Amino acid sequence: MVIRNGGKVDDAQQYWLDTFNVGDSWRLFRIMAEFVEGFDSLAAVKRPAVSIFGSARFGEDHEYYKIARTVGKGLSQAGYAIMTGGGPGIMEAGNRGAHDVDGISIGLNIDLPFEQEGNPYANMPLKFKYFFVRKVMLIKYAMAFIAMPGGFGTLDELFEAITLIQTRRIKSFPIVLVGSSYWSGLVDWIREQMLAAQTIEEDDLHIFQVLDDPDEIIRYIKRTVII
């Protein structure tokens, strides 16, 4: 039984993560299998990878899709592997850019009841059930992050990377937020609220850069991530 909407009680199936019961420790083997497959597959990629992530909801005619495709293509031509969440939208665009020039195009797809189907442009697709396993792969095997405009999932991946760098759990690497008009409100809030309240330090604002021009993004990655 689930209590919802002003105390009304109705029968509903709780979300799968909330339904762990006795014996669910067997799920650890599925989690371990995803880690093993991810580690073994991505460790075989012998060139620096750049993770491109953003909304699954932008079609190929959208400005941000075109930018992600251009960046994926340019970085692939420069010798980087392109890694995305493997789905549609921005993820498809990044993979498609690498596919355009026969580059290494990695797609880390995840099972979702909506929005997420693997795109056809990843020549190295991997499939995950657990978000946290997928995030480990996106961060561990990337030398740079490019955050295109996106929703809660994009923010989750972005702040995970920023937190790991801030706390020195991983070495610092370039994080680029693409689209000043999209990200400026968030960046202003971080500066005016978090920095003002001293919950972060001034240096933390330098963990990421905000850029707009695809060529500038490509030059920045090439300058900061040496092959």
CA atoms of 145 and 51, how far apart (whole Å):
5
Q: What is the domain partition of the chain in residue ranges?
A: 23-224
User: Per residue in 143-175, pLDDT tens?
Assistant: 999 999 999 999 999 999 999 999 999 999 999
> What does the alpha-carbon distance between residue 85 and residue 31 come to, in Å, rounded to a whole number?
18
More confident residue, 20 or 1: 20
Is the Cβ–Cβ distance between 94 and 82 less than 8 Å?
yes
| CA distances (Å), origin 145, targets 3, 21, 46, 52, 197 | 41, 37, 18, 6, 27
**Residues 6 or more apart from 20 whose CB is under 8 A from it?**
27
Give the pLDDT score at 33. Answer: 95
* 105: three-class secondary structure by DSSP: strand
Cβ atoms of residues 213 and 179 within 8 Å: no
CATH class given for the domain over 23-224: alpha beta
Name residue 95's amino acid. Answer: N
Asked if pLDDT for residue 3 goes beyond 50, the answer is: no
Read off the pLDDT of each residue in 204-223 and give the average, rounded to a whole number. Answer: 97
Residue 209: strand pairing partners: 176
Cβ(170)–Cβ(138) under 8 Å?
A: no
Token reading at 24:
């669910």
Tokens 């968030």 belong to residue: 186
Percent of the chain at pLDDT > 90 equals: 81
Please tell me the distance from the alpha carbon of residue 151 to that of residue 166, in angstroms, as a whole number.
22
Structure tokens at 75: 């970085």
What's the pLDDT tens digit per position in 64-85? 999 999 999 999 999 999 999 9
Angle at 147 between CA 133 and CA 78, to 5 degrees: 95
**How do residues 8-17 score in pLDDT, each as one tens digit?**
444 445 555 5
Does 2 score more than 60 pLDDT?
Answer: no
